[in-house]
Structure 1
Amino acid sequence: MHVDSNKENGPDGFELQRFIRAILRQKLVVIGFTVLGAVLAASYAFLATPVYEAKAFVAPPSQNDIANFHYGRMRESELTPYTVKDVYDIYTRRLQGESLRRTFFYKVYVPSLSADERKSSQDVLYARFSQVLRVVPPLKETSDKYSVVVQTNNPQQAKEWAAAYVSQAGDLAKNEMIRNLAIESQVRARNLEQQISSARETSRKAREDSLVKLSEALRIAKAIGLEKPPAITVNQSVIAGGESGQLTYMRGSKALKAEIENLQARKSDDPFTDRLRDLQDKYNFFSGLKTDAALVSVYRQDGDVELPDNPIKPNKRLILILGVISGLILGVAFVLVRRFFAETSE
């Protein structure tokens, strides 16, 4: 059985043909809209203010960068050495912190605006600033590299702001590290000072105890009339005060009296205090411990901040293509709407 292909596709094919004929009859209108779209797009693309982007990349410091943070931090001193991760965590926290953003906003971004731009509310200005400067965390879990991205109309300004933001975060983190070290050193010095005081107090009490024991031994020696040690063989440790000092009187009254006078005339017990000099050396070390900020670094900049050559906005090629496509679509739509109203009126 034969089927007429014209009948099968008749209505649809006829409408498509009418649609194409209508466009072709008014092709100048379509072309006009297309040209208009291209002109408007080109005007925007070439007259819009260009936006330049500068990036600064930072990475963890090396062991050599943080070496001076370890000065005096030993297991024996009860101060655990810092690791690279410990130092870099402080830096990245400062880098992403709101305090630095606010400081940079008020001291750098706002002064760069014109008088008219500053009239906007602080919330609006800060929202714009958040688009101008961004801190991008590592894109991969295995990476530890952060980046600071700045987008402005001035390429030199974008470069300077990116470098300045990274540097200011480094200064804040470095100062925090140095303050932490100073506080820990001061605490350690105070602990040592307390140990020194305790050691001296122990020596003072030991001297007082010796005076009491020797005074009692002197009274016993005088009571029995013993001026000199007896000419008998006696264990010297016993005479010196062994067995709780029971036989100390056997030294004789002369020796006991001389020792008592010597103890009473002693001006300082420091030479007789165990470990005192070692504690004093440690105290002097930690009380005078300082970290030179110029000799340490809390981050490592990965490459220089490059001066951007080409703007990232506007994308002229894309805008021109979109303008031509938009003009073509508007031209076709205008022709179809015009044809629809013309047929309706008929």
Structure 2
Amino acid sequence: MYVKAPPPADEIDLRELLASLWSERFLIVAVALLISATAAAYAFLARPYYEVRSVLHPPVLKALDELNSTGVYSLDAETALKRVGAALASYTNRLAFFKAHEEQFAFLLKTNQTFGQFFDDFNLEAFKMLQPDPKKNEGLSPYVGISFTYPEGVDGVRLTNDFVDFAITSERKKIVDDFATVVQNKLALVERRIEAERARYLSAKDAQVAKLLEADALERAQLQDELDALRNELRTRRNNRIAQLNEAIRIATSLNIRKPTTPNAMGEAAKAAQGNVIRTEVHNQEIPLYFMGTEALEAERDALEKRRSDDFTSPRIAEIQKRLRLLETNRQVEMLKQRKDKDEDLFLNGLDKLIGEAARLRGLKVDFSNLALVKVDQLAVEPIKPVKPKKLLILALGLVLGGMLGVFVALVRGMMRKSAPPTKRLAPLPQLPIQDNTQVAA
């Protein structure tokens, strides 16, 4: 007779396993219902969370044209969008805005928890930046947005739209401050250049005056030296002439020449003159001075000795004196010194352009209230249903997990029952004979 061998100890008998689970079917159903009921309680009793989003696109070019036309500050559309996106992602901006609306989150605060501590955790889960995927070049217009997940009881729609406006206003204020700073810096630079030009001009003017005065002093000294030398020369000539005249007077006196004469006339002086004679003499050599006679020589000597100045004898002295007289006053130096501050600006090269640039910078006015940094393409609207908890998913997961947990409990219980030692049966007690008391009595 063929007898089927029992399965090894390490193998699982599927039929026995199914039988064991079937025997524990009520336990499995009870555990599954308990977990499902717990999941259902959580799904229907947990605080619902909603999600809203706002999407921004770059502004049109004409919105930035007034700012860019100033020539001081330039801002393109994509940069404006990035700056607003950075403002939306800024933790400081988020904390400042939502702290101003702290009353809406008061019911979420735990005991002994500050709003800053609450917002640190809330910020990580509540906000999500929306941006195009850089790996996908779809050729669409760039955009930036923000997604806000909030619990029931919070006006998330108004907060989201107000926060977008807050970020735009905050970034616009930064641009206003940056614009004012750039204008002030450029204006300060232009004013420093104006002051530098004025200082350079004053230095150049002083240098020019010094050069002119130095040139006049040098020329005056040279002319004075020349005048002194000329006068010394004329004085020496006069003294030499007097000495020559004295010598000629002595010779003329010794020759008894009182009137001007000639050598030939002296030779024929003793001859009687007959008729009218016209004498013509041609000499290759200069006639000695003493032939002028003592009268003429003494007269010239006396005149020379009485002379107090020889300036009139040289035309050059008159020219020098004229030039010295002109050098006493330099009209160009006077005109340079008489220039006023306003008049001096007229002589600065390029100063008119700098003054014009400074006036333009002072007169720059931009209506920043009309400066559109972004185009709000999508405003946050009231959501139709919450994003969490997801009831159907939670119920399905509760049912599945409950069933799995029930099966697990049943299996564990079956294994524990199988591993328990079998109980021993007690042997029946022996039956004692029953005596008949009636017979004994008899």
Relative to the length of structure 2, the TM-score reads 0.57
Q: Residues 280-331 of structure 1: CA distance to partner in whole angstroms, max 9, x if unpaired?
A: 2221111232433212133333312122111011110011111111221222
Q: Write the letter of the residue equivalent to 2:53.
A: K
Could you say which residue in structure 1 is the equivalent of 2:25? 27
| Among 103, 112, 135, the residue aligned to 2:105 | 112
Q: Which moved more, 1:165-174 or 1:191-200?
A: 191-200
Residues 204 and 128 of structure 1: CA distance in aligned 2, closer, same or farther (over 3 Å): closer
Q: Which moved more, 1:268-277 or 1:50-59?
A: 268-277
Q: Is the 8 A contact 2:36 2:398 kept in 1?
A: yes
Q: Does residue 304 in structure 1 map to residue 302 in structure 2?
A: no
Residues in 1 aligned to 2:6 and 2:64: alpha-carbon distance in whole angstroms = 83
Residues 32 and 212 of structure 1: CA distance in aligned 2, closer, same or farther (over 3 Å): closer
SS in 1 for 2:384: coil
Q: Write the letter of the residue equivalent to 2:195.
A: S
Could you say which residue in structure 1 is the equivalent of 2:87? 94
SS in 2 for 1:66: helix
Matches within 5 A, 1:174-213: 174-201=172-199, 209=208
Residues 212 and 45 of structure 1: CA distance in aligned 2, closer, same or farther (over 3 Å): same
Matches within 5 A, 1:40-119: 40-73=38-71, 79=72, 81-109=74-102, 112-114=105-107, 117=110, 119=112
Larger Rg: 2
SS in 2 for 1:311: coil
Q: Is the 8 A contact 1:109 1:129 kept in 2?
A: no
Residues 101 and 65 of structure 1: CA distance in aligned 2, closer, same or farther (over 3 Å): same
| Among 143, 164, 171, the residue aligned to 1:173 | 171
- Percent of aligned pairs with the same residue? 19
Q: Is the 8 A contact 2:49 2:387 kept in 1?
A: yes
Give the gaps of 5 or more residues in structure 2: 224-321, 423-442
Residues in 2 aligned to 1:116 and 1:148: alpha-carbon distance in whole angstroms = 24
Could you say which residue in structure 1 is the equivalent of 2:398? 323
Give the gaps of 5 or more residues in structure 1: 74-78, 224-248
Q: Is the 8 A contact 1:68 1:295 kept in 2?
A: no
Residues in 2 aligned to 1:104 and 1:278: alpha-carbon distance in whole angstroms = 46
Q: Does residue 282 in structure 1 map to residue 275 in structure 2?
A: no
Could you say which residue in structure 1 is the equivalent of 2:263? none
Q: Does residue 313 in structure 1 map to residue 388 in structure 2?
A: yes
Could you say which residue in structure 2 is the equivalent of 1:292? 367
Shift of 1:11: 8.4
Relative to the length of structure 1, the TM-score reads 0.71
Q: Write the letter of the residue equivalent to 1:310.
A: K
Q: Is the 8 A contact 2:55 2:377 kept in 1?
A: yes
Q: Residues 22-58 of structure 1: CA distance to partner in whole angstroms, max 9, x if unpaired?
A: 3333423322332333222222111111110111223
Residues in 2 aligned to 1:14 and 1:72: alpha-carbon distance in whole angstroms = 86
Q: Is the 8 A contact 1:135 1:146 kept in 2?
A: no
Residues 118 and 288 of structure 1: CA distance in aligned 2, closer, same or farther (over 3 Å): farther
Q: Write the letter of the residue equivalent to 1:324.
A: L
Residues 345 and 104 of structure 1: CA distance in aligned 2, closer, same or farther (over 3 Å): farther
Residues 92 and 115 of structure 1: CA distance in aligned 2, closer, same or farther (over 3 Å): closer
Q: Residues 188-209 of structure 1: CA distance to partner in whole angstroms, max 9, x if unpaired?
A: 1122223333444566667775
Q: Answer 1 or 2: which has greater helix percent.
A: 1
Residues in 1 aligned to 2:414 and 2:201: alpha-carbon distance in whole angstroms = 113
Residues in 2 aligned to 1:325 and 1:92: alpha-carbon distance in whole angstroms = 43
Q: Which moved more, 1:109-118 or 1:183-192?
A: 109-118
Q: Which moved more, 1:134-143 or 1:289-298?
A: 134-143
Residues 155 and 162 of structure 1: CA distance in aligned 2, closer, same or farther (over 3 Å): farther
Q: CA RMSD in A?
A: 4.0
SS in 1 for 2:55: strand
Shift of 1:345: 4.8
Residues in 2 aligned to 1:265 and 1:337: alpha-carbon distance in whole angstroms = 115
Q: Is the 8 A contact 1:52 1:151 kept in 2?
A: yes
Residues 147 and 302 of structure 1: CA distance in aligned 2, closer, same or farther (over 3 Å): same
| Among 15, 18, 23, the residue aligned to 1:17 | 15
Q: Write the letter of the residue equivalent to 1:287.
A: R
Q: Is the 8 A contact 2:57 2:374 kept in 1?
A: yes
Q: Write the letter of the residue equivalent to 1:102.
A: L
Could you say which residue in structure 1 is the equivalent of 2:413? 338
Q: Write the letter of the residue equivalent to 1:333.
A: F
Q: Write the letter of the residue equivalent to 1:150.
A: F
Q: Write the letter of the residue equivalent to 2:144.
A: Y
Q: Residues 251-301 of structure 1: CA distance to partner in whole angstroms, max 9, x if unpaired?
A: xx8xx9998887766543344544444322221111232433212133333
Q: Is the 8 A contact 2:54 2:380 kept in 1?
A: yes
Residues 332 and 132 of structure 1: CA distance in aligned 2, closer, same or farther (over 3 Å): closer
